[in-house]
Amino acid sequence: MDEKREQLDWVAAAEVEGEKPPEVPPHGPVVWARENLFSSVGSGILTVAGLIVALGFFKGMLGYIFGADRKWDAVATNLRLYFTQAYPEDQYVRVWVAVGVAMALAGLSAAIWRANGRITGYKLGGGSFGLAGGLLTLLLLSPFSWRARLIYLLVALVFIGIGQYLRSVRPKLEVPALGVIVGTLAVLVGSLWVVPYGKHTFVDGQVQPPRPGTVAMTTKLPWTVMLLVMIVAYFVGKAVRDKVSPGLAKGLLSAGWMLLLPIDYFVILRDPALDYGQVFRVDVPIFLAFAVAGSAILWWLSSPHRGEIGRVVAGAMVIGAGVFWLAAAFGLSVRQIVRIDLVMLAVVALAAPTFAGEKAIRRKFIIGWVVILALVNYLAMMVNTPSTVDVPGSFPLGGFSLTLLVASATLMMSFPIGLILALGRTSKMPIFRLLSTTYIEVIRGVPLITILIFFKIILNLFLPDGMVLGNEMAAILGYSLFSAAYLAENVRGGLQSIRKGQYEAAAALGMSTPQTTSFIVLPQALRAVVPPLVSGVIATFKETSLLFIIGLFDFLRIGYVVVGGQTAFVGSQRENLLFVAFIYWIITFSISRSSVQLEKKLGLGER
């Protein structure tokens, strides 16, 4: 028996030793081109024709962009006008503070969410080859001088050498993706200090001829500080992330991002002139009254033994808040913040049964109510306080900052409205389904520009005496209601993808309908519709260019009308439009790539 086993072991060992590794299939750029571009005669003809068309297009485009008669000074001189329009120079530090808050949140988020992605040397080498290819394209197709061509050629050769080294010698090298991003930003910011981009300035409203040298200190110093703020915030977040609860840290950061827009605009950029006497005499007592009374009511409603009486009371509160609003519209003198707080309390009361349970859960529910109440009252106070920023119009922002404000506010407002509409359209209650379906179909059947004109011109005719909706806020409201209808249809598709077994499992666990929707259905539905949701975000951002048509000084209007109408830059509309289009493309492309990374992380499209 042992002899036979030894023979079998010897035969198996001989077979293993005789095995050869499989041959490596041919690979490389030549093989790839043969398989993908010239796999047949027809494919080769299409490839050659496509290359000819692409080369002709890029040669014409680059020849136009880098032509000697282009007026790119119009863009360089008016960058501040492009991004913040007429924001006063003596208060411009507020703009940098607002940007700094966003950079700090970005650094903290990278640390708390542990942005630990890695990029291989092989992929970095591919990126280096791509940069070299772009430089060689500029070298061959652009109307540069021979000196400039030589510089581009040397830089391209350096990138080719780096790419070849990374791909052939260090293909498995892993570099933190965050380090690559920060390094790229550091190179861009550092170039402001060393590369002679030139100085383009206004003096007493007159355009000055460009001067040689690096950009002005008022540009390079703030951007350097912004980069340092982000880096310091990252290390601060890295130091404290293991000392606090991950859920608490991520929750606070999420709240910070949601509050970034209202805090940046209503508090930092508007600089409200607060009357602290009225604040402590009126605003603080109103907040304390609703905090105490509301907490007591919500504590009673969230009791697990309350039963149907709690839902009846919450419904009565909603009806009462609605009647109160109608009474105020017909002449009842009530402070606006009181009406807002009443509606908030009624809506939160409807959610109270969802948080019914142990005292710890109920305490968190009450704390959440007090925090939300404080934030809403604070922001309402800031909104209703006159601004100290002295600008030609009534709105302190213009240009790209207005475009970004409208897009961000639209996304923040349309998302919850769209969720409610989607849930209403899939509801089993006929009244909610009918109302939601009617709204969605009506809004989707009306052009966006018609809605914007309606909210800008006609809506004020239906408002009570003394109440006027500003053009910017009217545009945000119109955009939000329009985007919500399309978002609702996307979310409805996700809701319909949820299998019946998910609802049955939630019912078996004893979950109520709000709990099932919040914790089981919506997370899965939203995950399934990430691609169309991101497409909606991109479409919303691009549609902000319609602000130009209704007369607002957005990014496009500043470039085409304001800068193009300056005496020194008459005839520069094409350059301005190219710059505006380039900025739009950078942002939308970045959103698209971020969406791809999110889809990979969530495993969408993978089996």
For residues 444 and 559, membership in a common domain is answered with yes
User: What total of structural domains would you count in the chain?
Assistant: 2
- Can you give the CATH number for the domain in which 445 is found? 1.10.3720.10
The residue out of 366, 385, 404 marking a domain boundary is 385
The residue out of 339, 356, 385 marking a domain boundary is 385
Does residue 411 lie in a domain region? Answer: yes
Give per-residue pLDDT as tens, 145-192. 888 888 888 998 999 999 888 888 888 888 888 888 899 999 999 999
Please classify residue 586 by burial: count the beta carbons closer than 10 Å to its beta carbon, then call 0-12 exposed, 13-18 middle and 19+ buried.
exposed
The mean-pLDDT minimum among 294-303, 316-325, 327-336 falls in 327-336
Does residue 269 lie in a domain region? Answer: no
User: Which of 391, 394, 398 lies closest to 85 in space, CA to CA?
Assistant: 398
Which 8-state DSSP code applies to residue 335? Answer: -
Cα diameter, the chain: 107
For residues 286 and 423, membership in a common domain is answered with no
pLDDT for the residue 480: 94
Cα–Cα dist 473/351, whole Å: 29
Residue 54 predicted with pLDDT over 80:
yes
For residues 308 and 454, membership in a common domain is answered with no
Give how far Cα 14 sits from Cα of 7, 9, 63, 186, Å: 11, 9, 68, 59
For residues 460 and 597, membership in a common domain is answered with yes
Give per-residue pLDDT as tens, 337-356. 888 888 888 888 888 877 77
For residues 293 and 429, membership in a common domain is answered with no
pLDDT for the residue 94: 93
Confidence band for 3, pLDDT divided at 50, 70 and 90: low
Does residue 229 lie in a domain region? Answer: no
| Nearby residues of 552 by Cβ (< 8 Å), 6 or more positions away | 398, 402, 471, 472, 475
Q: What average pLDDT does this structure show over 515-524?
A: 86
pLDDT for the residue 404: 94
Confidence band for 607, pLDDT divided at 50, 70 and 90: very low
Q: What average pLDDT does this structure show over 235-248?
A: 87
Residue 21 predicted with pLDDT over 70:
no
For residues 405 and 538, membership in a common domain is answered with yes
For residues 518 and 568, membership in a common domain is answered with yes
415: Cα separation from own chain's centroid: 13
Does residue 605 lie in a domain region? Answer: yes
Does residue 80 lie in a domain region? Answer: no
Query: Are 604 and 497 contacting, i.e. CB atoms less than 8 angstroms apart?
Result: no
User: Which of 270, 214, 272 lies closest to 97 in space, CA to CA?
Assistant: 270
For residues 565 and 594, membership in a common domain is answered with yes
Q: 203 pairs with which residues across the strands?
A: 206
Q: What average pLDDT does this structure show over 399-404?
A: 94
Confidence band for 440, pLDDT divided at 50, 70 and 90: very high
| Nearby residues of 517 by Cβ (< 8 Å), 6 or more positions away | 423
Cα–Cα dist 203/207, whole Å: 7
Cα–Cα dist 257/105, whole Å: 7
The residue out of 343, 358, 385 marking a domain boundary is 385
For residues 412 and 555, membership in a common domain is answered with yes
Cα–Cα dist 488/480, whole Å: 12
Give per-residue pLDDT as tens, 525-577. 988 888 899 999 999 999 999 999 998 999 999 999 998 888 888 888 899 99
Query: Are 121 and 174 contacting, i.e. CB atoms less than 8 angstroms apart?
Result: yes
For residues 595 and 467, membership in a common domain is answered with yes
Cα–Cα dist 529/514, whole Å: 21
Does residue 95 lie in a domain region? Answer: no
Q: What average pLDDT does this structure show over 367-382?
A: 89
Token look-up 């493309």 returns 585
For residues 378 and 476, membership in a common domain is answered with no
CA atoms within 13 A on the CB side of 401: 22
Does residue 418 lie in a domain region? Answer: yes
Confidence band for 469, pLDDT divided at 50, 70 and 90: confident
Does residue 25 lie in a domain region? Answer: no
User: Which of 8, 232, 296 lies closest to 103 in space, CA to CA?
Assistant: 232
Residue 334, domain extent: 275-385
Q: Which amino acid is at 499?
A: R
Q: What is the pTM of this model?
A: 0.86
For residues 410 and 555, membership in a common domain is answered with yes
Residue 44 predicted with pLDDT over 60:
yes
